[in-house]
Structure 1
Amino acid sequence: MNRPKAALLKTGKMARLVLCAAMLGAAVPTMALAIGGASGAKIDYEIQGQIGEVQINPYKIAPLTAIIKDGGYTISDASVTIVPKKGGQTISYRVAASRLKDYAGIPVFGLYADYTNTVNVEYVKHYGGKAEKIKESYTIYAPPLYSDPDGTIFQKGAFFRDVKVTKVDKEFADRLYFVNNLAEKSGNGTKVVWNNPVGGALEWNFAPQNFIIDTQGEVRWYMFANPIYDLESIYHGGVMMGFKQNDDGALSWGYGQRYAKYDIMGREIFNRRLPNGYNDFSHSMETMKNGHFLLRVGSANYKRPDGKNVRTVRDVILEVDANGNVVDDWRLFEILDSYRDVVLKVLDQGAVCLNIDASQAGHTLTADDLAKMDKNDHFGDIVGSGPGRNWAHVNSVDYDEEDDSIIISSRHQSAIIKIGRDKKVKWILGSPEGWKGDFVGKVLTPVDAKGAKIACENSKCEGDFDWTWTQHTAFKIDSKSKGDIIYVSAFDNGDARGMEQPALPSMKYSRAVIYKIDQKKMTVEQVWEYGKDRGYGWFSPVTSLTEYQPDKNSVFAYSATAGADFNVKSGAFTTAPNPFINEFKWGAKEPSVEIQIMNATGYQAMPFNIEKALSK
């Protein structure tokens, strides 16, 4: 029988489709399910346990997290335990009811990288008016660690994987430490500078390396920043810095022209551009109890008294509310003396914060050098006096709600300074050299434990007392402070100690230090220090942190750029730094914890509280 050509073609197509379907069905039994079929759309991927599927890295930026979805059931009373590797650290936590709703399931934190993890969960499943208590295990493979390459010799074998654990006392064995490190500069970044108006710190651009380690040195969380970060973008690049764990457990920080807040699973709470009048966030984002934030930024356009318009450098503190509206600012070039240059002239120009230039090691500036900057209109992220240059380099800001004031750490003034809401200086913790006018009476007087004045000559004092030098971080210890008596922690980096460079670089040292300040008597007592006896091996020329931890009545320190090897003949670093994590019982002379991160440029670190993040 002759059939129309069209019908034959149709029949042939149908036969081929049937044959292909049969072949696919034989090779991949679930293919028909994936495209529906007679029974309709179905889920055909693996489901473990009694509730729902497992989503690894659910928000794209935290690869060592997962969510075990609730499967449409109502679940409650959930808890999670990550079974450790042999001899490893157990991570176990209860999940708050609100978190179960946030994630539509059970959040899993602390997976080992490139490892098939066993995750034990307990929960109550509610369905059909019944409640059933469930205990089960899930098998979850987490991917390897990854960091964008920078092409340097320092990166080989690093990528935050080489961690040396020297000491962990039993009471600190459950610690998790959040580490904020930076990759080396690379050809992919540092290509853009502001020129309208001139100045600013836009060229300051390092890719992030943010991670959490346990006390065995294992990475248990890290940030895959690429979805929210672009090294080549003006408005999505910069240096991720100023991390804080908020009271709600989430992380806040800033980078370049942005400031952000995300929870530990990677869920975005906000990620905003700086308000238009401000630029170049770095170093510090402080969370206030009223939900506001203090950001260390620069002015996007300031007209100097000489009529020149500039972008200023690290000398403005901005307060924004929870919705990002500007509340107030502290324009430090109008509050302090931006032409106090005594510290600027003794800084080691080889290490000006993260602008480390080995070829300039040991070099300092002269009065002529500073004068030429003004004469030649040199502005930007350079050490120099006056607005539009890096005269202040504020690297931390803390809020004291007792008197509605801020406490700042100014590296390039080697001073910790308290300033009120009225923009008036309350006190200055630092060498009296170079301060003029009303500032002279604001410098605190050193005293001993009995309140007797310590003899000082210019920048050097008798006994154990010392000022801080190019310090990083200055935080009030709220639980130890009362009224006019406050305690302040700081990391004294130690460059230009005593307002001079030592005869040999190996004579430099850093300190973690705590001061007791009587704000009424205008005195300061040094009550604790660590690091002087460790000498050059613990010396961090830049970055670092010291901060009190109320949960264990301890002091945490991160000597973040210690231990870099330097070849004097070639004038180059032969290794990256090898930062130290230390934690001390209150008043202890030796640390209870020492962990060293090898081949890494560190910025800051802090203990991380998983209960705050997921159990509250």
Structure 2
Amino acid sequence: MTFLILALAAGWIIIAENTSQTVSFSIFHSASTTSSETSLIEEQEEMEKEWRQEYIDGNHTFDNPMVIQDPYGEAPLTALTKFRTENPSRITVTVASRGDVQDITHTYPAFNQEHEVPVLGLYPGTDNEVTIEAEDRQGNVQEQTVSLETDDTPAFAHNREVIESSPAEMEPGLTFITPGKSKAYGVDEQGDIRWYSSRTGGFVFKRLSNGNLLLGASQSEDKRNEYLFETDMLGKIQNQYKVNLPNYEDTNVIHHDAIELPNNNLLVTVHDNSNAYEEDTMVEIDRATGETVETLDLKDIFPAEAYEEYSGPNESDGDWMHLNAIWYDKENRSILISGRHQSAVLSLTYPEMNINWILGAPEGWSADMAKKVLEPENGNLKYPGAQHAPMILPDQDDNPDTKDVLLFDNNTTITRGDESISRDYSQGIQYRINEEEGTVETVWKYGEERGKDFFSNVVGDADYMYETTNRLLTSGYQKVNDGYQATIVETAGDTGEVVYELELSGIKKGDGRVVYRSERMPLYPEAWNYSSASPSGASSD
């Protein structure tokens, strides 16, 4: 038998030849792992053509607006209204809320005559009352109310119970719930759904700097989440990227995270299935072309024994790292990465991947890596165990040498850590790292006092709230008598006082509805800047 190996731009092709057969197969290679697609974008363009033609054919004044519910087929609790006003006017749209919940309202500041106005924040299974106001430059106001009836509450939603809600002390916005493999949705302060995606997603749900959402998603019945969609809040798809792993049999292709880099590109956690290991690779995707411009393999910075001799969860899958989070550190052009199965957070220069420091228990490192492990400021420290979602906080102490990192410490000892307290509790914890001295201390934490009730063996999140300085914690997979539940807690400032707590139940073992993360975000993004002028013959002054 003879072998011929061809190096192609798309990857390696190995051809085995003998007298009876020819077998060929391709292996994932860094040259081309991602691509851009336009199929759904083109479908939505056809939808737009239909309702814009309908608008042109009709006579839709302020008193007779055209209303398109879920205009792009991706966000059922949204609508688009189109109409003409006699004078240039700015538009305010308001969705009436229940009980003591504030109405959801938004003003589009431009003065136009032709209007295309998004409506966000409808309730499911409700005849929603939507008020539209038009104010001209002289201050004259017209008001019109329309009723929008929506379908019942989606079946994928968790059972929701609000334990505590103090809206005046909470960070403004909806709480958006990111599943492991289900549909993302947002709830108000009373736990009522006010937005959801109709697309099955996976792990990634983030707001980009332009106000759009970045969604990990699937287009197949097996829920293989190999796509990233950039969409606006109406569900209009701006970009559609695919991660190509033809030889990876599992469905979690984009397994945990994606972030936006300062150069506008995306950095995504993927797999390198050219070998026996997984969840240890990142790719940088060119936002304009969808092509891979960087591939970063964490096996390049760890000694071989770290992955060859790993013994722990998912050992048979080669899941030695379980890379579950990335955060960009703009101050020193580095990234934070979280390796669940290494129970460590690393700061790496990007894209060179030189190690700045390691936050993790000191045992089990190679001699070179041990030099980068942060030392406890006061001689004692609770190190993270199987942690998730590290993020860098704004300056907390006016010291240029320190950096505060908030994360969710699942407190499960893997590879290294304190076995005596492993799995007793989970917590949000804030570390203060002196990068100049190579030291670390704990300055805030919440969760240990709740013990086993707040323990989540897998998944979790910790977010700093920039307007209030609150923290939002997600313990996403808590064992209860009839299965699992998740608890989302918002604590006030540094006090630890609970101002919001939402319990999500009905999760079964292995359920795709496991709550991976949660985010507090305004429903109308400030950076969105959606013009109320209709693209079909807009007029403004």
Q: TM-score range by the shorter chain?
A: 0.7 to 0.9
* CA-CA distance at 1:550 after TM superposition: 0.9
Q: Deviations over 1:330-350 (max 9, x none)?
A: 2101112353379954x5x5x
Q: Which residue of 2 aligns with 1:78?
A: 91
1:87 aligns with 2:93: no
Q: Which residue of 2 aligns with 1:434?
A: 364
Runs of at least 5 residues in structure 2 that lack an aligned partner in the other structure: 1-55, 218-224, 508-513, 530-541
Q: Which residue of 2 aligns with 1:397?
A: 326
Q: Which residue of 2 aligns with 1:493?
A: 410
RMSD (CA atoms): 3.1
* CA-CA distance at 1:396 after TM superposition: 0.3
Question: As a proportion of its length, which structure holds more helix?
Answer: 1
* CA shift in 2, pair 1:77/1:479, >3 Å: farther
* CA shift in 2, pair 1:111/1:266, >3 Å: same
* CA shift in 2, pair 1:423/1:48, >3 Å: same
* CA-CA distance at 1:478 after TM superposition: 3.5
From 207, 210, 235, the counterpart of 1:245: 207
* CA shift in 2, pair 1:321/1:42, >3 Å: closer
Q: Is the partner of 2:451 in helix, strand or coil?
A: helix
* CA-CA distance at 1:518 after TM superposition: 0.8
Q: Which residue of 2 aligns with 1:165?
A: 163
Which amino acid letter does the alignment assign opposite residue 233 of structure 2?
I
Q: Which residue of 2 aligns with 1:340?
A: 306
Q: Which residue of 1 aligns with 2:278?
A: 313
The 5-angstrom pairing of residues 236-385 of structure 1 reads 240-255=202-217, 256-274=225-243, 280-301=253-274, 310=275, 312-323=277-288, 324-337=290-303, 339-340=305-306, 345=311, 349=313, 382-383=314-315
* CA shift in 2, pair 1:90/1:532, >3 Å: same
Q: Taking structure 2 as the reference length, what is the TM-score of the superposition? A: 0.76
Which amino acid letter does the alignment assign opposite residue 493 of structure 1?
N
Which amino acid letter does the alignment assign opposite residue 143 of structure 1?
D
Which amino acid letter does the alignment assign opposite residue 115 of structure 1?
T
What is the distance in 2 between the residues matched to 1:399 and 1:608? 19
* CA shift in 2, pair 1:321/1:267, >3 Å: same
The answer to whether the 8 A contact 1:508-1:539 is kept is yes
The answer to whether the 8 A contact 1:343-1:499 is kept is no
Which amino acid letter does the alignment assign opposite residue 592 of structure 1?
V
* CA-CA distance at 1:496 after TM superposition: 2.0
Higher RCO (CA-CA < 8 Å; seq separation 6+): 2
* CA shift in 2, pair 1:586/1:48, >3 Å: same
Q: Taking structure 1 as the reference length, what is the TM-score of the superposition? A: 0.68
The answer to whether the 8 A contact 2:376-2:440 is kept is yes
What is the distance in 2 between the residues matched to 1:95 and 1:343? 59
Q: Which residue of 1 aligns with 2:12?
A: none
The answer to whether the 8 A contact 1:96-1:615 is kept is no
What is the distance in 2 between the residues matched to 1:478 and 1:525? 17
What is the distance in 2 between the residues matched to 1:75 and 1:614? 23
* CA-CA distance at 1:74 after TM superposition: 8.1
Q: Which residue of 1 aligns with 2:511?
A: none
Q: Is the partner of 1:55 in helix, strand or coil?
A: strand
What is the distance in 2 between the residues matched to 1:136 and 1:66? 16
Of the structure 1 ranges 134-143 and 264-273, higher mean CA displacement relative to structure 2 is found in: 134-143
Q: Deviations over 1:529-586 (max 9, x none)?
A: 1100100001011111012121222211111112433xxxxxxxx32x2211111222
What is the distance in 1 between the residues matched to 2:216 and 2:528? 25
Which amino acid letter does the alignment assign opposite residue 498 of structure 2?
P
The answer to whether the 8 A contact 2:186-2:196 is kept is yes
Percent of counterpart pairs with the same letter? 24
The 5-angstrom pairing of residues 403-442 of structure 1 reads 403-421=332-350, 422-442=352-372
* CA shift in 2, pair 1:597/1:590, >3 Å: same
What is the distance in 1 between the residues matched to 2:527 and 2:130? 16
* CA shift in 2, pair 1:611/1:502, >3 Å: same
Which amino acid letter does the alignment assign opposite residue 269 of structure 2?
R
Q: Which residue of 1 aligns with 2:144?
A: 136
Runs of at least 5 residues in structure 1 that lack an aligned partner in the other structure: 1-40, 149-158, 183-205, 230-238, 302-309, 350-381, 449-453, 455-460, 566-573
Q: Is the partner of 1:517 in helix, strand or coil?
A: strand
* CA shift in 2, pair 1:339/1:253, >3 Å: farther
1:520 aligns with 2:436: yes
Of the structure 1 ranges 289-298 and 85-94, higher mean CA displacement relative to structure 2 is found in: 85-94
Which amino acid letter does the alignment assign opposite residue 325 of structure 2?
S
The answer to whether the 8 A contact 1:162-1:598 is kept is yes
* CA-CA distance at 1:275 after TM superposition: 5.9
What is the distance in 2 between the residues matched to 1:391 and 1:579? 26
1:178 aligns with 2:176: yes
What is the distance in 1 between the residues matched to 2:304 and 2:124? 48
Runs of 4+ in 1 over 4 A off after TM superposition: 41-44, 71-76, 275-279, 341-345, 500-503
